Amino acid sequence: MIKKIGLRQVKLLFIKLVLTLFLLSIVWVLLYRWVAPPATLHMVKRRAEAGKAEKDDPTIAYTFVPLEEMSPQLPLAVVASEDQLFLQHHGFDFQAILDAFQRNQESSKIRGGSTISQQVAKNVFLWHGRSYLRKAVEAYFTLLIEVLWGKERILEVYLNIAEMGDGIFGVEAASQQFFGKPAKAVGRQESALLAAVLPNPIKYSAKNPSSYVRTRRRRIARAMNNLGGATYIEAILPPDDEQ
């Protein structure tokens, strides 16, 4: 009898824990629907790494700006570069995931098939890693932000928290650092250049782009044109009278 009562209590505690975590995750996601994330775990990690390396300036550059204070070329560039089906899918590009899995089976160089939504879920709410547990939690948060945020907010947050240089997060900090102008004023080629370094912003530089980065910039610029230019994402951009 005592064992049965103990087991029942354990089950109840587990259910309460799961419900509590579920409710907290909903509140957390809803909070960031309207409030800019003050920082992410990845930013904290990069700040700690800079401190350990004893860099001259170990600070993190991060300034959150709303989508209407960005050039429309910026969201177009990252969609063209990172996730051309962003407006069509509901958080996951299953064909891209399958293709990445098949490539990774044949190559030692790991490549991802993550959408912009998945990258936001990982970078805002989770730690970096390749465990199945993290991927499962990432999928959960991806579904949450697709439902509770919508495409406009997902893209806005992505453009603000993506690392675009060594310790430089978001398009505003990157535009100021590399071009000496606000994100609102950058053009197509500059936007394509920032998108070109996203796969590895530590290895690749928008300030001193290598031939590989310049080639990627040209490809992204062509993809931006092929998508139809800024009109492609007008459906999720703020109305003109709010810009």
> How confident is residue 242, by pLDDT bands cut at 50, 70 and 90?
very low
Average confidence (pLDDT) over 159-177:
95
- What kind and span of H or E run contains 146? helix 132-148
Question: What angle is formed at CA 194 by the lines to CA 95 and CA 89, rounded to 5 degrees?
Answer: 25
Q: Please state which CATH class domain 37-242 belongs to.
A: mainly alpha
Distance from C-alpha of 203 to C-alpha of 220, rounded to nearest angstrom: 18
For residues 183 and 102, the model is more confident at 183
SS3 136: helix
Q: What is the pLDDT of residues 3-56, one digit of tens each?
A: 556 788 888 898 999 999 999 999 999 999 999 999 898 898 888 887 666 665
Distance from C-alpha of 117 to C-alpha of 145, rounded to nearest angstrom: 8
Distance from C-alpha of 219 to C-alpha of 233, rounded to nearest angstrom: 19
To the nearest whole percent, how much of the chain has pLDDT over 90?
63
Q: What is the pTM of this model?
A: 0.87
Distance from C-alpha of 138 to C-alpha of 10, rounded to nearest angstrom: 27
* Length of the chain, in residues: 243
Angle between helices 73-82 and 211-226 (to 10 degrees): 100
User: Which pLDDT does position 45 carry in this prediction?
Assistant: 86
Is 188 buried (19+), middle (13-18) or exposed (0-12) by CB count in 10 A?
buried
Distance from C-alpha of 70 to C-alpha of 156, rounded to nearest angstrom: 9
Beta strand 168-169 pairing with 61-62: parallel
> Is the model's pLDDT at 154 over the cut of 90?
yes
> Is the model's pLDDT at 117 over the cut of 80?
yes
Query: DSSP assignment, residue 183?
Result: G
Distance from C-alpha of 68 to C-alpha of 76, rounded to nearest angstrom: 13
- Tokens 């007008």 locate to 234
Retrieve residue 188's tokens: 């197509």
Q: How high does pLDDT run on average in the chain?
A: 88
199 CB neighbour count, 10 Å cutoff: 14
Name residues whose C-beta falls within 8 Å of residue 238's C-beta, 6 or more positions apart in sequence. 66, 67, 68, 152
> How many CA atoms does the CB half-sphere of 68 hold within 13 Å?
6
Query: DSSP assignment, residue 201?
Result: T
Residue boundaries of the structural domains of the chain: 1-35, 37-242
Distance from C-alpha of 116 to C-alpha of 179, rounded to nearest angstrom: 24
